[in-house]
Protein backbone atom coordinates (compact mmCIF):
# COMPACT_ATOMS: atom_id res chain seq x y z
CA UNK A 1 0.00 0.00 0.00
CA UNK A 2 2.80 2.45 0.88
CA UNK A 3 4.47 2.05 -2.52
CA UNK A 4 1.11 2.41 -4.30
CA UNK A 5 0.31 5.62 -2.40
CA UNK A 6 3.78 7.04 -3.07
CA UNK A 7 3.39 6.35 -6.80
CA UNK A 8 0.04 8.13 -6.86
CA UNK A 9 1.41 11.17 -5.04
CA UNK A 10 4.39 11.37 -7.35
CA UNK A 11 2.21 11.29 -10.44
CA UNK A 12 -0.61 13.49 -9.17
CA UNK A 13 1.19 16.21 -7.19
CA UNK A 14 2.34 18.25 -10.18
CA UNK A 15 -1.06 18.00 -11.86
CA UNK A 16 -2.79 18.96 -8.60
CA UNK A 17 -0.50 21.92 -7.97
CA UNK A 18 -0.86 23.20 -11.53
CA UNK A 19 -4.67 23.08 -11.39
CA UNK A 20 -4.78 24.83 -8.02
CA UNK A 21 -2.33 27.54 -9.11
CA UNK A 22 -4.39 28.15 -12.23
CA UNK A 23 -7.64 28.30 -10.25
CA UNK A 24 -6.49 30.53 -7.39
CA UNK A 25 -3.64 32.45 -9.01
CA UNK A 26 -1.30 31.95 -6.06
CA UNK A 27 1.49 29.40 -5.95
CA UNK A 28 1.98 29.54 -2.18
CA UNK A 29 -1.68 28.84 -1.47
CA UNK A 30 -1.67 26.07 -4.07
CA UNK A 31 1.35 24.39 -2.46
CA UNK A 32 -0.10 24.64 1.03
CA UNK A 33 -3.50 23.16 0.25
CA UNK A 34 -1.97 20.50 -2.02
CA UNK A 35 0.23 19.42 0.89
CA UNK A 36 -2.76 19.41 3.22
CA UNK A 37 -4.72 17.25 0.78
CA UNK A 38 -1.85 14.77 0.59
CA UNK A 39 -1.60 14.70 4.38
CA UNK A 40 -5.33 13.94 4.54
CA UNK A 41 -4.86 11.13 2.03
CA UNK A 42 -2.05 9.65 4.12
CA UNK A 43 -4.52 9.37 7.00
CA UNK A 44 -7.54 8.16 5.04
CA UNK A 45 -6.26 5.98 2.20
CA UNK A 46 -4.40 3.37 4.30
CA UNK A 47 -7.73 2.74 6.07
CA UNK A 48 -10.21 3.06 3.18
CA UNK A 49 -7.91 2.18 0.28
CA UNK A 50 -6.79 4.31 -2.66
CA UNK A 51 -9.90 5.75 -4.34
CA UNK A 52 -10.70 4.84 -7.97
CA UNK A 53 -9.81 8.38 -9.08
CA UNK A 54 -7.12 9.53 -6.65
CA UNK A 55 -6.41 12.74 -8.55
CA UNK A 56 -10.06 13.84 -8.31
CA UNK A 57 -10.11 12.98 -4.59
CA UNK A 58 -7.02 15.08 -3.96
CA UNK A 59 -8.36 17.97 -6.04
CA UNK A 60 -11.72 18.02 -4.26
CA UNK A 61 -10.03 17.93 -0.86
CA UNK A 62 -7.51 20.64 -1.77
CA UNK A 63 -10.19 22.95 -3.19
CA UNK A 64 -12.28 22.63 -0.04
CA UNK A 65 -9.29 23.49 2.09
CA UNK A 66 -8.50 26.50 -0.12
CA UNK A 67 -12.08 27.78 0.09
CA UNK A 68 -12.07 27.34 3.87
CA UNK A 69 -8.85 29.32 4.11
CA UNK A 70 -10.15 32.10 1.88
CA UNK A 71 -13.32 32.40 3.89
CA UNK A 72 -11.24 32.86 7.04
CA UNK A 73 -9.07 35.56 5.46
CA UNK A 74 -11.12 38.14 3.57
CA UNK A 75 -8.10 40.35 2.77
CA UNK A 76 -6.29 37.38 1.26
CA UNK A 77 -9.42 36.41 -0.63
CA UNK A 78 -9.79 39.90 -2.12
CA UNK A 79 -6.20 39.89 -3.29
CA UNK A 80 -6.58 36.48 -4.91
CA UNK A 81 -9.83 37.53 -6.52
CA UNK A 82 -8.00 40.29 -8.39
CA UNK A 83 -5.34 37.83 -9.55
CA UNK A 84 -7.99 35.36 -10.64
CA UNK A 85 -9.87 37.99 -12.65
CA UNK A 86 -6.64 38.91 -14.44
CA UNK A 87 -5.90 35.26 -15.17
CA UNK A 88 -9.41 34.78 -16.53
CA UNK A 89 -9.04 37.84 -18.75
CA UNK A 90 -5.79 36.46 -20.18
CA UNK A 91 -7.54 33.14 -20.69
CA UNK A 92 -5.85 30.02 -22.03
CA UNK A 93 -5.31 30.29 -25.79
CA UNK A 94 -6.56 27.68 -28.20
CA UNK A 95 -3.30 25.72 -28.05
CA UNK A 96 -4.08 24.70 -24.47
CA UNK A 97 -7.75 23.91 -24.78
CA UNK A 98 -7.28 20.18 -25.37
CA UNK A 99 -4.59 19.66 -22.74
CA UNK A 100 -5.08 16.52 -20.67
CA UNK A 101 -4.08 18.48 -17.54
CA UNK A 102 -2.80 21.89 -16.56
CA UNK A 103 0.85 21.14 -15.89
CA UNK A 104 1.88 22.73 -19.18
CA UNK A 105 0.82 26.12 -17.81
CA UNK A 106 3.01 25.53 -14.77
CA UNK A 107 5.98 24.54 -16.98
CA UNK A 108 5.81 27.92 -18.71
CA UNK A 109 5.22 29.82 -15.47
CA UNK A 110 8.25 28.25 -13.77
CA UNK A 111 10.39 28.95 -16.86
CA UNK A 112 9.15 32.48 -17.48
CA UNK A 113 11.91 34.80 -18.80
CA UNK A 114 11.06 37.36 -16.10
CA UNK A 115 12.51 34.96 -13.51
CA UNK A 116 16.22 34.78 -12.81
CA UNK A 117 17.87 31.93 -14.70
CA UNK A 118 19.03 30.22 -11.49
CA UNK A 119 15.49 30.34 -10.11
CA UNK A 120 13.77 28.65 -13.06
CA UNK A 121 15.29 25.21 -12.54
CA UNK A 122 14.76 25.40 -8.79
CA UNK A 123 11.09 26.28 -9.15
CA UNK A 124 10.56 23.58 -11.79
CA UNK A 125 11.99 20.90 -9.51
CA UNK A 126 10.02 22.20 -6.53
CA UNK A 127 6.65 22.53 -8.26
CA UNK A 128 6.63 20.03 -11.12
CA UNK A 129 8.97 17.37 -9.84
CA UNK A 130 7.69 17.65 -6.28
CA UNK A 131 11.11 17.76 -4.65
CA UNK A 132 11.30 19.31 -1.20
CA UNK A 133 13.32 22.49 -0.70
CA UNK A 134 16.23 20.56 0.90
CA UNK A 135 16.19 18.13 -2.05
CA UNK A 136 16.26 21.00 -4.56
CA UNK A 137 19.12 22.54 -2.58
CA UNK A 138 21.07 19.30 -2.83
CA UNK A 139 20.29 19.13 -6.55
CA UNK A 140 21.94 22.52 -7.08
CA UNK A 141 24.56 21.96 -4.38
CA UNK A 142 23.53 24.95 -2.30
CA UNK A 143 22.40 25.15 1.36
CA UNK A 144 18.71 24.64 2.09
CA UNK A 145 18.40 28.21 3.39
CA UNK A 146 19.84 29.62 0.15
CA UNK A 147 17.50 27.51 -1.95
CA UNK A 148 14.52 28.50 0.19
CA UNK A 149 15.30 32.16 -0.51
CA UNK A 150 15.53 31.48 -4.25
CA UNK A 151 12.18 29.74 -4.31
CA UNK A 152 10.51 32.45 -2.24
CA UNK A 153 12.05 35.09 -4.53
CA UNK A 154 10.73 33.32 -7.63
CA UNK A 155 7.22 32.97 -6.22
CA UNK A 156 7.22 36.61 -5.18
CA UNK A 157 8.28 37.62 -8.68
CA UNK A 158 5.42 35.61 -10.18
CA UNK A 159 2.96 37.29 -7.84
CA UNK A 160 4.34 40.84 -8.04
CA UNK A 161 4.81 40.76 -11.82
CA UNK A 162 1.41 39.11 -12.16
CA UNK A 163 2.83 36.43 -14.41
CA UNK A 164 -0.22 34.53 -15.67
CA UNK A 165 -0.63 30.78 -15.29
CA UNK A 166 -1.25 30.05 -18.94
CA UNK A 167 0.19 28.42 -22.04
CA UNK A 168 1.71 30.92 -24.48
CA UNK A 169 -0.31 31.49 -27.63
CA UNK A 170 0.84 30.12 -30.98
CA UNK A 171 2.67 33.39 -31.72
CA UNK A 172 4.58 33.25 -28.41
CA UNK A 173 5.27 29.53 -28.21
CA UNK A 174 8.36 29.42 -30.49
CA UNK A 175 10.09 32.02 -28.30
CA UNK A 176 9.06 30.56 -24.96
CA UNK A 177 9.40 26.80 -25.49
CA UNK A 178 13.24 26.80 -25.73
CA UNK A 179 13.41 28.23 -22.20
CA UNK A 180 11.32 25.36 -20.84
CA UNK A 181 13.45 22.80 -22.68
CA UNK A 182 16.66 24.41 -21.43
CA UNK A 183 15.51 24.18 -17.82
CA UNK A 184 14.81 20.46 -18.18
CA UNK A 185 18.07 19.82 -20.02
CA UNK A 186 20.05 21.72 -17.38
CA UNK A 187 18.63 19.42 -14.72
CA UNK A 188 19.53 16.40 -16.84
CA UNK A 189 23.06 17.65 -17.53
CA UNK A 190 23.74 18.02 -13.83
CA UNK A 191 22.50 14.46 -13.35
CA UNK A 192 24.43 12.96 -16.25
CA UNK A 193 27.69 14.72 -15.43
CA UNK A 194 27.70 16.31 -12.00
CA UNK A 195 29.42 19.67 -11.72
CA UNK A 196 31.00 18.75 -8.40
CA UNK A 197 30.91 16.24 -5.58
CA UNK A 198 32.00 12.66 -4.92
CA UNK A 199 30.03 11.04 -7.77
CA UNK A 200 30.31 11.34 -11.54
CA UNK A 201 26.58 10.86 -12.09
CA UNK A 202 23.48 11.78 -10.12
CA UNK A 203 20.99 9.37 -11.61
CA UNK A 204 18.05 10.65 -9.57
CA UNK A 205 18.33 14.07 -11.24
CA UNK A 206 18.80 12.60 -14.72
CA UNK A 207 15.74 10.38 -14.29
CA UNK A 208 13.66 13.27 -12.92
CA UNK A 209 14.53 15.36 -15.98
CA UNK A 210 13.48 12.49 -18.25
CA UNK A 211 10.21 12.14 -16.33
CA UNK A 212 9.52 15.86 -16.81
CA UNK A 213 10.33 15.60 -20.52
CA UNK A 214 7.93 12.67 -20.87
CA UNK A 215 5.18 14.79 -19.32
CA UNK A 216 5.99 17.65 -21.68
CA UNK A 217 5.98 15.25 -24.63
CA UNK A 218 2.47 14.07 -23.68
CA UNK A 219 1.29 17.66 -23.35
CA UNK A 220 2.90 18.91 -26.58
CA UNK A 221 2.91 15.84 -28.86
CA UNK A 222 3.32 17.88 -32.06
CA UNK A 223 6.38 19.88 -30.93
CA UNK A 224 9.33 18.18 -32.60
CA UNK A 225 11.95 19.80 -30.35
CA UNK A 226 10.25 18.28 -27.31
CA UNK A 227 10.67 14.89 -29.01
CA UNK A 228 14.27 15.82 -29.79
CA UNK A 229 15.07 16.71 -26.17
CA UNK A 230 13.52 13.52 -24.84
CA UNK A 231 15.38 11.48 -27.48
CA UNK A 232 18.69 13.13 -26.61
CA UNK A 233 18.33 12.44 -22.90
CA UNK A 234 17.22 8.84 -23.41
CA UNK A 235 20.11 8.09 -25.77
CA UNK A 236 22.66 9.56 -23.35
CA UNK A 237 21.07 8.00 -20.26
CA UNK A 238 21.14 4.60 -21.98
CA UNK A 239 24.92 4.50 -21.30
CA UNK A 240 24.63 5.22 -17.57
CA UNK A 241 25.57 1.75 -16.28
CA UNK A 242 28.75 1.62 -18.37
CA UNK A 243 30.03 5.11 -17.53
CA UNK A 244 31.41 4.15 -14.12
CA UNK A 245 33.18 1.14 -12.71
CA UNK A 246 32.00 -0.80 -9.64
CA UNK A 247 33.92 1.66 -7.45
CA UNK A 248 32.38 4.72 -9.13
CA UNK A 249 35.45 5.44 -11.24
CA UNK A 250 35.14 7.13 -14.64
CA UNK A 251 35.02 4.85 -17.69
CA UNK A 252 35.65 6.59 -21.02
CA UNK A 253 33.51 5.94 -24.09
CA UNK A 254 36.36 3.98 -25.72
CA UNK A 255 36.48 1.57 -22.78
CA UNK A 256 32.79 1.16 -22.02
CA UNK A 257 31.16 -2.26 -22.17
CA UNK A 258 28.45 -1.56 -24.74
CA UNK A 259 26.56 -4.69 -23.78
CA UNK A 260 25.65 -2.77 -20.60
CA UNK A 261 23.95 -0.02 -22.58
CA UNK A 262 20.16 0.05 -22.23
CA UNK A 263 18.89 -1.15 -25.62
CA UNK A 264 15.25 -0.36 -24.82
CA UNK A 265 16.09 3.29 -24.17
CA UNK A 266 18.21 3.37 -27.34
CA UNK A 267 15.32 2.00 -29.40
CA UNK A 268 12.88 4.49 -27.89
CA UNK A 269 15.30 7.36 -28.34
CA UNK A 270 16.02 6.42 -31.96
CA UNK A 271 12.30 6.39 -32.78
CA UNK A 272 11.97 9.84 -31.23
CA UNK A 273 14.91 11.08 -33.33
CA UNK A 274 12.91 10.21 -36.44
CA UNK A 275 9.90 12.08 -35.04
CA UNK A 276 12.04 15.12 -34.22
CA UNK A 277 13.62 15.33 -37.68
CA UNK A 278 10.55 14.80 -39.88
CA UNK A 279 7.78 17.19 -40.78
CA UNK A 280 9.83 20.37 -40.91
CA UNK A 281 13.27 21.92 -40.32
CA UNK A 282 15.37 20.20 -37.67
CA UNK A 283 15.94 21.89 -34.31
CA UNK A 284 19.08 21.88 -32.14
CA UNK A 285 17.86 19.13 -29.79
CA UNK A 286 16.84 16.93 -32.70
CA UNK A 287 20.28 17.28 -34.30
CA UNK A 288 22.05 16.56 -31.01
CA UNK A 289 19.83 13.52 -30.56
CA UNK A 290 20.81 12.29 -34.05
CA UNK A 291 24.48 12.57 -33.02
CA UNK A 292 23.80 10.63 -29.82
CA UNK A 293 21.98 7.94 -31.84
CA UNK A 294 25.03 7.46 -34.09
CA UNK A 295 27.19 6.88 -31.00
CA UNK A 296 24.69 4.44 -29.49
CA UNK A 297 24.20 2.44 -32.67
CA UNK A 298 27.93 2.03 -33.41
CA UNK A 299 29.59 -1.31 -32.53
CA UNK A 300 32.60 0.50 -31.07
CA UNK A 301 34.50 3.80 -31.28
CA UNK A 302 36.38 2.77 -34.42
CA UNK A 303 33.15 1.72 -36.14
CA UNK A 304 31.39 5.01 -35.38
CA UNK A 305 30.31 7.06 -38.39
CA UNK A 306 32.49 10.06 -37.56
CA UNK A 307 31.96 11.65 -40.97
CA UNK A 308 28.22 11.79 -40.38
CA UNK A 309 28.74 13.10 -36.84
CA UNK A 310 30.94 15.92 -38.16
CA UNK A 311 28.30 16.74 -40.78
CA UNK A 312 25.65 16.94 -38.06
CA UNK A 313 27.87 19.22 -35.98
CA UNK A 314 28.19 21.45 -39.04
CA UNK A 315 24.39 21.67 -39.17
CA UNK A 316 24.22 22.34 -35.43
CA UNK A 317 26.79 25.15 -35.60
CA UNK A 318 24.88 26.77 -38.46
CA UNK A 319 21.65 26.86 -36.46
CA UNK A 320 22.97 27.31 -32.91
CA UNK A 321 26.63 28.41 -32.87
CA UNK A 322 28.48 28.11 -29.58
CA UNK A 323 32.04 27.43 -28.39
CA UNK A 324 30.90 24.21 -26.72
CA UNK A 325 29.58 22.85 -30.02
CA UNK A 326 32.85 23.89 -31.66
CA UNK A 327 34.79 21.86 -29.08
CA UNK A 328 32.65 18.79 -29.73
CA UNK A 329 33.02 19.20 -33.48
CA UNK A 330 36.82 19.47 -33.13
CA UNK A 331 36.87 16.22 -31.14
CA UNK A 332 34.83 14.50 -33.87
CA UNK A 333 37.15 15.84 -36.58
CA UNK A 334 40.10 14.46 -34.60
CA UNK A 335 38.47 11.04 -34.85
CA UNK A 336 37.75 11.45 -38.56
CA UNK A 337 40.89 13.25 -39.79
CA UNK A 338 43.46 12.71 -37.06
CA UNK A 339 44.64 14.35 -33.85
CA UNK A 340 46.51 17.19 -35.57
CA UNK A 341 43.39 18.37 -37.40
CA UNK A 342 41.36 18.33 -34.19
CA UNK A 343 44.06 20.09 -32.16
CA UNK A 344 44.37 22.86 -34.75
CA UNK A 345 40.66 23.59 -34.38
CA UNK A 346 40.87 23.56 -30.58
CA UNK A 347 43.83 25.93 -30.63
CA UNK A 348 41.84 28.38 -32.73
CA UNK A 349 39.35 28.53 -29.85
CA UNK A 350 42.01 29.37 -27.25
CA UNK A 351 40.98 33.02 -27.07
CA UNK A 352 37.32 32.23 -26.38
CA UNK A 353 36.60 33.54 -22.82
CA UNK A 354 33.81 31.01 -22.20
CA UNK A 355 36.26 28.12 -22.63
CA UNK A 356 38.96 29.29 -20.22
CA UNK A 357 37.47 27.34 -17.33
CA UNK A 358 35.55 24.79 -19.38
CA UNK A 359 36.96 21.47 -18.24
CA UNK A 360 36.03 19.41 -21.38
CA UNK A 361 37.90 21.85 -23.62
CA UNK A 362 41.11 21.64 -21.61
CA UNK A 363 40.80 17.86 -21.33
CA UNK A 364 40.22 17.47 -25.09
CA UNK A 365 43.44 19.42 -25.78
CA UNK A 366 45.34 17.30 -23.29
CA UNK A 367 44.15 14.05 -24.89
CA UNK A 368 45.07 15.17 -28.40
CA UNK A 369 48.50 16.39 -27.28
CA UNK A 370 49.00 12.99 -25.66
CA UNK A 371 47.98 11.18 -28.86
CA UNK A 372 50.51 13.27 -30.78
CA UNK A 373 53.30 12.37 -28.34
CA UNK A 374 53.76 15.96 -27.15
CA UNK A 375 54.14 14.78 -23.59
CA UNK A 376 55.35 17.93 -21.76
CA UNK A 377 52.48 19.94 -23.26
CA UNK A 378 50.05 17.12 -22.53
CA UNK A 379 51.24 16.97 -18.91
CA UNK A 380 50.68 20.71 -18.48
CA UNK A 381 47.22 20.46 -20.05
CA UNK A 382 46.23 17.49 -17.86
CA UNK A 383 47.30 19.44 -14.79
CA UNK A 384 45.16 22.35 -15.92
CA UNK A 385 42.25 19.98 -16.45
CA UNK A 386 42.80 18.51 -12.98
CA UNK A 387 42.50 21.97 -11.45
CA UNK A 388 39.18 22.48 -13.24
CA UNK A 389 37.65 19.02 -12.67
CA UNK A 390 34.53 19.17 -10.54
CA UNK A 391 34.02 15.59 -9.31
CA UNK A 392 36.30 13.22 -7.49
CA UNK A 393 36.08 10.47 -10.18
CA UNK A 394 37.24 12.98 -12.80
CA UNK A 395 40.13 14.06 -10.59
CA UNK A 396 41.11 10.44 -9.92
CA UNK A 397 41.08 9.72 -13.65
CA UNK A 398 43.35 12.68 -14.37
CA UNK A 399 45.75 11.75 -11.58
CA UNK A 400 46.07 8.32 -13.17
CA UNK A 401 46.71 9.94 -16.56
CA UNK A 402 49.44 12.13 -15.09
CA UNK A 403 51.03 9.19 -13.30
CA UNK A 404 51.07 7.18 -16.53
CA UNK A 405 52.53 10.12 -18.44
CA UNK A 406 55.31 10.47 -15.91
CA UNK A 407 56.45 6.95 -16.83
CA UNK A 408 56.39 7.56 -20.59
CA UNK A 409 59.39 8.58 -22.65
CA UNK A 410 58.93 11.68 -24.84
CA UNK A 411 59.24 10.88 -28.57
The pLDDT assigned to 3 comes to 61
pLDDT band of residue 392 (cuts 50, 70, 90) is very high
Average pLDDT over residues 5-17: 76
Q: Render pLDDT for 217-231 as a digit per residue (tens, 0 to 9).
A: 988 999 999 999 999
Q: Render pLDDT for 134-144 as a digit per residue (tens, 0 to 9).
A: 888 877 768 88
The pLDDT assigned to 93 comes to 40
- Report the 10 Å Cβ neighbour count for 118: 13
Q: Greater confidence, 64 or 258?
A: 258
**With contact defined as beta carbons under 8 Å apart, do 165 and 87 qualify?**
yes
Distance CA(33)–CA(284), nearest Å, equals: 40
Mean confidence (pLDDT) of the chain: 87
Distance CA(342)–CA(332), nearest Å, equals: 8
Q: Render pLDDT for 57-94 as a digit per residue (tens, 0 to 9).
A: 888 899 888 888 887 776 666 655 655 555 555 444 43
Distance CA(170)–CA(175), nearest Å, equals: 10
pLDDT band of residue 96 (cuts 50, 70, 90) is very low
Average pLDDT over residues 18-44: 87
Counting residues of the chain whose pLDDT is more than 90, the rounded percentage is 46
In order, the DSSP letters of 80-93 are: HHHHHHHHHHH---
Lowest mean pLDDT among 169-173, 347-351, 377-381, 386-390: 169-173
The pLDDT assigned to 99 comes to 32
Q: Which residues pair with 391 in a beta bridge?
A: 197
For residue 354, give the DSSP letter: G
Residue 402 has pLDDT above 90, yes or no: yes
φ, ψ for residue 197, nearest 5 deg:
110, -175
Mapped onto helix, strand or coil, the DSSP state of residue 200 is coil
Q: Greater confidence, 394 or 135?
A: 394
pLDDT band of residue 98 (cuts 50, 70, 90) is very low
Lowest mean pLDDT among 78-92, 155-169, 270-284: 78-92
Q: Which of 231, 288, 298, 294 is nearest to 265 (CA)?
A: 231
Q: Render pLDDT for 186-219 as a digit per residue (tens, 0 to 9).
A: 889 888 887 777 888 888 889 989 988 998 998 8
Amino acid sequence: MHAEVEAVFREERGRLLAALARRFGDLDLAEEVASEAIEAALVKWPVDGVPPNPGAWLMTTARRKAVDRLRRDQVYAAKLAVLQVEADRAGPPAVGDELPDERLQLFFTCSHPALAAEDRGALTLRCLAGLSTPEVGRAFLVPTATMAKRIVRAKKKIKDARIPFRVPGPDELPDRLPGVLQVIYSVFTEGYSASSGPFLQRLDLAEEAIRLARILRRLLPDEREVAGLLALMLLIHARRDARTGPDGSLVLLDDQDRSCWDRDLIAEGSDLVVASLTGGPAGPYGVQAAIAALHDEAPDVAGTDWAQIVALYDVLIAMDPSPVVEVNRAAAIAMRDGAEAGLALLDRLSGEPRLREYHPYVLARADLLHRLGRLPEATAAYREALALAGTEPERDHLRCRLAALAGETPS
